[in-house]
Structure 1
Amino acid sequence: MSVLGIICEYNPFHNGHACQINYGRQLIGSEGILIALMSGNVVQRGEFACIDKWTRAAAACQHGADLVIELPLLATLQSADYFAEFSIRLLSALGCQSFLYGTETATDEQLRQIVDWQEQHHSLLQNHIQAQLKQGKAYNVAFQNAWQEVAPKNMAINPFSPNHLLGLQYLSANAKLPQPLKSYALERAKVDLEGKPILSGSAIRQQAVAQPNSLKLAVPMLVAQMLNNHGPVTMEDYWPFLRYKLTVSSPSELATYYGAKEGIQNRLKEKLAEQSTYSQYISDLKTKRWSYNQFARLLLSILLNIKDDEWRQAQDAFWHEPNLRLLAFSSRGQAYLNQNNANLGLDIWSNLRKNREDSYRFNLQADRVYQLNPEVKIAEQIRARYPITYSP
């Protein structure tokens, strides 16, 4: 049996994601198992998802995923390299033999050539990165500058497009596995199989704020109805809560949260005084060494009350007894778990019991705060929530 994994956020689920799942199904056949390892209510850029995880999981299952499993917050509130390594390890643990990822224009072979070159010239590249960091550059800028200084000029693609960067991280993490998975890349398309437009997730999120009724052709009906009836969740919705937390916390307390370093707590306080919106505040926070996404992840850890020492303890504990929440499944997916769950070495669960709350506490905190949204009506995320079932 072929088992293929997709690491995803589906923020929100759109026509491009439907095409990706369809392509994945072609790769593994009708009897294969497609596993979507999906971010919960927090996504990797350091924001809450625009639509809740249950709605996104339902859309994925309706379009061909057999299992939708929640990616722990320990992965989703991380930079791209840690996010990719955590996710690839989990796909391997879930029994996947292959994985599929999206790119802008690159093929899998082109990206693997870049990964191979980086591995062969690791010391040279790291020396140039360190030189850039000493000049006060943020790591992503330092890496890009170093690459442009030392990499061959005849590379066929730009490795710094967002999807290319994440694809490179997936491939790099996969190469470290004792038994690497087969990798497949799918280039971004402009229209789906029915000729409907494929907009990017960011374009859809922006359009959902300004013109929610205009998205019917770009996303499945379930997603369009959710955006139209309730509107997208944005970080601006939570700004009053975050601003209060930043206001009453001392600099020394802010320094204890996950992601705080280099005395950044003082800047958090200095830039707070006159800002009336989340976007204005985070824009003023940016420095040469700190990117937007780094600040976004730090601010979310403050909002969720995640301390650095608790985070590190949870990281160590997870891989000793890894456990994952099942969000949705098809009849094929259910049969796969029934046959293989005992051999996977994972606790894949559907019912949140008291004995699981400690290991699940960061995702639980995120769900609880997510539901506090004062602008968007969000369905219950915790109590009496069981996996969504779908029969293809």
Structure 2
Amino acid sequence: MDACGLIVEYNPFHNGHQYHISQARKASQSTCIIAIMSGNFLQRGEPAIIDKFHRAKAALNGGADIVIELPYTFAVQNSDRFATGAIKTLHKFGVTSVCFGSESGSIDPFLYAYKTLKTSNHVFEKILKDNLSGGLSFPDAATAAYGTLGLTEENLDLSKPNNILGFSYVKAIQEYASSITPLTIQRKNNDFHDESIKGSIASATSIRKQMLHSESIDTSVQNAIPPETFKQLQSYKEKTSIWHDFEKYFPFLRYRVLTMSIKELQNIQGVVEGLEFRIQQTANDATTFLDWMRKIKTKRYTWTRIQRIFIHILTNTKKDENYVDCSPSYIRILGMNKQGQQYVNHHKKNIDVPIITSIANMNHSILSIEERATKAYYSVIPAHLQRKMFKQELQPPIII
């Protein structure tokens, strides 16, 4: 059985994601679609609007055959580290192809860009370092450095978010899992950062913004999501009374920062170059999370980089817990259907890491971070529900 891997977050699962699954199945000619999905905290340093179990169920009903979890230690990272963790895990799980959405829509520019970077990497690294020293943020410094290699908008626009992620996937495949075939399809009808819903294919950003603004699922949102996603969103809201966003964590984050010593803050993953002082000083006057972010933000530090730091503060993830350069030590299945079960039974003898279905009865440092992150995620729901929601971590995977 061949499998095609998709690297996803499904925050929430929408019609564009369903289209991606159907096109990936068609392009790869695979019998099994495996989605590797970020858990409760995401690559851009945000809490998922609903938890990973409800998102996994929506994905399985939307066409995925297996949903596996991308561990926190890989998920809340920059695009290259995020991609490397996902590709290494999918490689361990035996996928033969990976299909991603991009603004480009053609795989050839990505392969050309990789070859160009590989042959001129020393030039790229020098220019990148100079640009960073000049005060540019990493994305701006990297875009300018790519331009000096001739990688411009005409061949591959590496200022576009999905092209950036796609290029990271291709780099990781070429360097760590060359037996995987990279495939891409063009994103339909919306931009990654669109903040308004413009039809039945809408960005996850616009869907979340509308939901959080109205605290309900209006007609425009319903038109942009499959019925099962609507069901899972409603189910989660009924259970917990909330959809997650950073503002709900603001009081706890502010308390954490104001009661931490500078040394403790300095040891948090991602905190560099004296940023601990800026984070703590601005905490005194911040009135909302958005206000705090605006007070910290500078040209050098991107919004997403600062958000990732706040997630690491929330989960108390320290620099010495950085496992992003390690090979995956387990594969955790969140859910699967009958086709997915057949794939696991067919391939499990050839998979050289444990396949786990819960965090119970397994002692591993990365899983201990996962447990901590899950408890932090649920900390904003009513106290009597926190233990009940956490029990999902200890139960068998979703089967549909």
2:85 and 2:324 in contact (8 A); partners too: no
Task: State the aligned residue count.
Answer: 382
CA distance in 2, matches of 1:226, 1:57: 10
The answer to whether residue 213 in structure 2 is matched with residue 210 in structure 1 is yes
CA distance in 1, matches of 2:153, 2:77: 32
1:128 CA drift (Å): 1.4
For 1:301, which of 294, 312, 315 is the aligned residue?
Answer: 312
Q: Which residue of 1 aligns with 2:399?
A: 389
CA distance in 2, matches of 1:117, 1:149: 11
Once the two structures are superposed, residues 273-319 of structure 1 have per-residue CA deviations (whole angstroms, 9 ceiling, x without a partner) of 1111111111211122211111111111111111211x13x557x63
**Structure 2 vs 1, CA of residues 114 and 299 (structure 1 numbering), >3 Å: closer, same or farther?**
same
The answer to whether residue 287 in structure 2 is matched with residue 276 in structure 1 is yes
Q: Which residue of 2 aligns with 1:219?
A: 225
For 1:261, which of 272, 286, 295 is the aligned residue?
Answer: 272
% same residue: 28
**Structure 2 vs 1, CA of residues 315 and 20 (structure 1 numbering), >3 Å: closer, same or farther?**
closer
CA distance in 1, matches of 2:46, 2:163: 21
Q: Post-superposition, which runs of at least 4 consecutive aligned residues in structure 1 deviate over 6 A?
A: 375-379
Q: Which residue of 2 aligns with 1:112?
A: 111
The answer to whether residue 326 in structure 2 is matched with residue 326 in structure 1 is no
1:226 CA drift (Å): 4.4
The answer to whether residue 98 in structure 2 is matched with residue 88 in structure 1 is no
Task: Give the TM-score taking structure 1 as reference length.
Answer: 0.91
1:45 and 1:293 in contact (8 A); partners too: yes
**Structure 2 vs 1, CA of residues 154 and 197 (structure 1 numbering), >3 Å: closer, same or farther?**
closer
For 2:202, which of 192, 199, 203 is the aligned residue?
Answer: 199
Q: Which residue of 1 aligns with 2:193?
A: none
**Structure 2 vs 1, CA of residues 202 and 178 (structure 1 numbering), >3 Å: closer, same or farther?**
closer
Q: Which residue of 1 aligns with 2:137?
A: 138
CA RMSD in angstroms comes to: 2.3
CA distance in 2, matches of 1:136, 1:45: 21
Q: Which residue of 1 aligns with 2:195?
A: none
Q: Which residue of 1 aligns with 2:180?
A: 181
2:44 and 2:308 in contact (8 A); partners too: yes
Q: How does 1:361-372 map to 2 (within 5 A)?
A: 361-372=368-379
CA distance in 2, matches of 1:181, 1:147: 25
1:65 CA drift (Å): 1.3
1:106 and 1:164 in contact (8 A); partners too: no
1:190 and 1:197 in contact (8 A); partners too: no
Once the two structures are superposed, residues 316-342 of structure 1 have per-residue CA deviations (whole angstroms, 9 ceiling, x without a partner) of 7x63x7112211101111122122212
1:72 and 1:324 in contact (8 A); partners too: no
CA distance in 1, matches of 2:71, 2:152: 39
SS in 2 for 1:360: helix
Q: How does 1:310-321 map to 2 (within 5 A)?
A: 311-312=321-322, 314-315=323-324, 319=327
2:74 and 2:86 in contact (8 A); partners too: yes
**Structure 2 vs 1, CA of residues 353 and 122 (structure 1 numbering), >3 Å: closer, same or farther?**
same
1:33 and 1:332 in contact (8 A); partners too: yes
**Structure 2 vs 1, CA of residues 381 and 295 (structure 1 numbering), >3 Å: closer, same or farther?**
same
CA distance in 2, matches of 1:334, 1:8: 20
SS in 2 for 1:355: coil
Q: Which residue of 1 aligns with 2:53?
A: 54
**Structure 2 vs 1, CA of residues 70 and 178 (structure 1 numbering), >3 Å: closer, same or farther?**
closer
**Structure 2 vs 1, CA of residues 369 and 62 (structure 1 numbering), >3 Å: closer, same or farther?**
same
CA distance in 2, matches of 1:341, 1:24: 23
Q: What is the identity, as a one-letter code, of the residue corresponding to 1:258?
A: Q
Task: Give the TM-score taking structure 2 as reference length.
Answer: 0.89
Larger mean CA deviation between 130-139 and 372-381 belongs to 372-381
SS in 2 for 1:372: helix
Q: Which residue of 2 aligns with 1:166?
A: 165
CA distance in 1, matches of 2:231, 2:341: 28
Once the two structures are superposed, residues 328-358 of structure 1 have per-residue CA deviations (whole angstroms, 9 ceiling, x without a partner) of 1011111221222122112111133233364
**Structure 2 vs 1, CA of residues 276 and 266 (structure 1 numbering), >3 Å: closer, same or farther?**
same
SS in 2 for 1:356: coil
Q: Which residue of 1 aligns with 2:7?
A: 7
Once the two structures are superposed, residues 213-268 of structure 1 have per-residue CA deviations (whole angstroms, 9 ceiling, x without a partner) of 13111112232244457253101111111111011111111001111111111111
Q: What is the identity, as a one-letter code, of the residue corresponding to 1:200?
A: S
Q: What is the identity, as a one-letter code, of the residue corresponding to 1:350?
A: T
CA distance in 1, matches of 2:58, 2:74: 22
Q: What is the identity, as a one-letter code, of the residue corresponding to 1:217?
A: N
Q: How does 1:71-82 map to 2 (within 5 A)?
A: 71-82=70-81
Q: What is the identity, as a one-letter code, of the residue corresponding to 2:227?
A: M
1:25 and 1:64 in contact (8 A); partners too: no
The answer to whether residue 235 in structure 2 is matched with residue 232 in structure 1 is no
In structure 2, the gaps of 5 or more residues are 191-197
Q: Which residue of 2 aligns with 1:25?
A: 25
The answer to whether residue 380 in structure 2 is matched with residue 380 in structure 1 is no
2:58 and 2:229 in contact (8 A); partners too: yes
CA distance in 1, matches of 2:10, 2:177: 29
